Amino acid sequence: MTHIVKGANTPVPTGPLRVAVCRRKVPGTPVVDVSALLLDATGKVRGDADLVFHNQPAHPSGAVRHLGTGDGVDQLAEWLELDLPRVEPAVQRVLVAASCDGGTFGAVPGLALQTVAGDGTIVAHYDVTDAAGETAFVLGEFYRRNGAWKFRAVGQGWESGLAGLATDFGIVVAEEPVAQVPPSAPAPVPPVMQAGVTKAAVPPIADAVPTSAPIPTYTPTPLGTDFRPHTQSGRGNGVVSVDVPLPPGPVIVEARVRGDEWLLVETLNRRNKDEDTVFNTTLRDFHGRALVQPPRDRPLRMKVNYDGDWTITVLPLSAARQLGTQTLTGRGPDVVAYTGTMADVKVRFDGGADRDEWFVLNCHEAEHFDDLDEHEMLCNETGKLKQTVPVPDGPLLLVVEHGDGSWELTAKPLPVRDPSTGRQTGAYEGRGDKTVTLLNPRPGRPALVQYDFPGAKADYSLEVKLVDEYGDEDEWLTGRQRGTRGTAVLFADGRAEQAVRVKCAGDWTLRLLPEEQAPPLTGPTEGRGSTVLRYQGPPTLMTVTRTSRGNDEHLSAWSLNHPYGKSAMIADTLGRRRPTLGPVWVDPGGTCFVTVRAAEDTKWRLEPAPISAAPVLGARTPGGWYGVVRHTGPEAELVVVGTAMIHVFELDENLFPHRKLTASSGPYRISSSILHVRCLGEWTLELRP
């Protein structure tokens, strides 16, 4: 699942989508009515048909439909259906809006928008955390970008109600006169919303929805897609065959028996042979549940071995019992849903009748529901058990396997981090994959970012990307290049804010610090890991050396200049301990930072050197990997020979690489200049008059 914050965006599949505007079911809270507005390139509706709501539940194109309200155990959701391939070319954006009847959105608990793909995958989830006195809201929008569709969390409200929102998007709200009627007559018709006209009433439902419009077979839920349960009963050994289609993803298989005979239930493979064990128990009057992945190319079939009466029911994931802060008890195998924030779960198991039964508790996160082997084992013990285990943000499933005894689960959610805390303190904390917008504490100036990903690996599984206003990403930080903790520069161009997308399985912290906390680079400097140094001298050369003795340790150094935010590589040691000479580019009108990129255990040494430290080009100048050379003679031809990939850059007077020479071996005409060579092996530069 992709959790996004206000202002962030994410790509969505180009296909049918279901959109739910959710809220907690609390008595006495305001009613929320959801609508969709189809906007053209001017940001306005084209006519009254471009408004889809409960009284006009289908767009003429068939691209948008209002499906009504779903009522869950503790949650209400109003559903829209979007068929993106059917959206007309003139429509550039589809807004998801809502109005509040009998109150304000600040009084609506748990307000959120969730987008679900056709296979039940949740592709975007946006929690509205800052609603106050608004009576109308645009929660999000789907918009075209470079031939694809994206979703943006908007979170903009109107205190002027639905009329104010509608007017801003080209809809004229006209109140029709109310005729005099006897007291027992029906209530008058509410105001009619129109686009650019003052009459023409909203078409009736029968006219808006074709009679042939299909009724959805499946209903998306936060845990997957609902379907009608399938039940089969028998006595003695038998076979259960689910011959009706099931939506993609896992299902819950429930077994009920009478007596204390041995029960064995196994799935059958393509050859009608035993495949995976679903239940294997001797518990009296057994009632248990298991998680099963049905085959996608054939019906789900299971073999039942039991001497007495049995009933097998195949259920959607929404049938799972919900785990909350109250203790949930059970006996034997079960599937439990958790949809809250990250929490510590207290686990108790009585050990079974003989106090030596086996108890296993697995955690399946929603993003891995398509692969049940991709799970985290939380408990795996024999006998009496009393533990506390951590779980991430839901939705997720906790699956009790084996456990032929009584057990208890109690969730204790961790304190919810207030999104505004980072804005106030400069420390942004989170867990797992998230997109967050960092606010520059001093707009117009750069800032340092001190990052920490405890428990992560220093490899490419950890990454943080910069996200622009269109949702496009640029690489910024990976565990392989910068390690799991260190310091980097952000807002190098002085921008006021920057959205970043964190990909990390565990906890993380991004802490903004003033640029003055970067130590000055005034001479030879030694350090460890990723670091930022301030350099206030003229353009210079620098030797970069890895001093630690680990294998394949990455180390590179870069010069980055404010106010334009441009950077240039100084040197990359390419995993070697060989000293490497490189140029430090300095913008005369800005501030220069030297950034070192390395894992936290990698030690290094930086040594500034004069321009004269670079060797002068002769008739044949050999070298290896990264290096700097000078040509001090008249214009001549340069031939480049490398044993591996090689690039040669001509530097300007500030040592910025303003011209790339190498598209081939040459020859290239060069005048008096300084050249920066970047190669993955040995090289030779030949100079010809």
Residue-level pLDDT at 182: 39
Residue-level pLDDT at 245: 76
How many beta carbons lie within 10 A of that of residue 173, not counting itself? 16
In a domain, 215, yes or no: no
Tell me: pLDDT of 604 over 60.
yes
Domain of 295, CATH number, reads 2.60.120
In a domain, 343, yes or no: yes
Tell me what the mean pLDDT of segment 606-612 comes to.
Answer: 97
Which ranges constitute the DSSP H helices of 194-286? 205-208
Q: Which two tokens stand for residue 79?
A: 């559903």
Q: How far apart are CA 129 and CA 105, in angstroms?
A: 10
pLDDT classification of 649: cutoffs 50, 70, 90: very high
| Element at 481 (helix H, strand E) | helix 479-482
Strand partners, 4: 126
DSSP 106: G
pLDDT classification of 247: cutoffs 50, 70, 90: confident
In a domain, 513, yes or no: no
Same domain, 111 and 175: yes
Residue 61, Ramachandran bin (φ over 0: left; ψ between -120 and 50: alpha; else beta): alpha
What DSSP string describes 116-155? EETTS-EEEEEE-----S-SEEEEEEEEEETTEEEEEEEE
pLDDT classification of 204: cutoffs 50, 70, 90: very low
Considering only 381-385, 421-425, 497-501, 627-631, which range has the smallest mean pLDDT?
A: 421-425
DSSP 215: P
Q: Which two tokens stand for residue 373?
A: 């082997």
Q: How far apart are CA 680 and CA 662, in angstroms?
A: 14
Same domain, 138 and 173: yes
Domain of 392, CATH number, reads 2.60.120.380
Higher pLDDT, 407 or 165: 407
Residue-level pLDDT at 663: 65
**173, 208, 243 - which closes a domain:** 208
Phi and psi for 422 in degrees, rounded to 5?
-60, -35
Whether the CB-CB separation of 131 and 111 falls below 8 Å is answered with yes
Instruction: Quote the domain boundaries for residue 689.
Output: 614-689
Angle at 17 (CA atoms; ends 15, 21), nearest 5 degrees: 160
Same domain, 28 and 172: yes
Q: Could you give the number of structural domains in the chain?
A: 6
Pairing relation of β-strands 376-382 and 358-365? antiparallel
Domain of 83, CATH number, reads 2.60.60.30
Picking from 566, 559, 505, the residue whose alpha carbon sits closest to that of residue 535 is 559
Tell me: pLDDT of 201 over 50.
no
Residue-level pLDDT at 73: 58
Question: Mind listing the pLDDT tens digit for each residue in 101-143?
Answer: 778 998 899 999 999 887 677 889 999 988 888 999 999 999 9
Residues in the chain: 689
Same domain, 45 and 97: yes
In a domain, 511, yes or no: no
Residue-level pLDDT at 665: 75
What DSSP string describes 414-446? PPPPPHHHHHHHSEEEEESSEEEEEEPSSTTS-
Picking from 415, 412, 352, the residue whose alpha carbon sits closest to that of residue 385 is 352
Check the CA dihedral 463-464-468-474 and report its sign.
Answer: negative
Pairing relation of β-strands 657-660 and 646-651? antiparallel
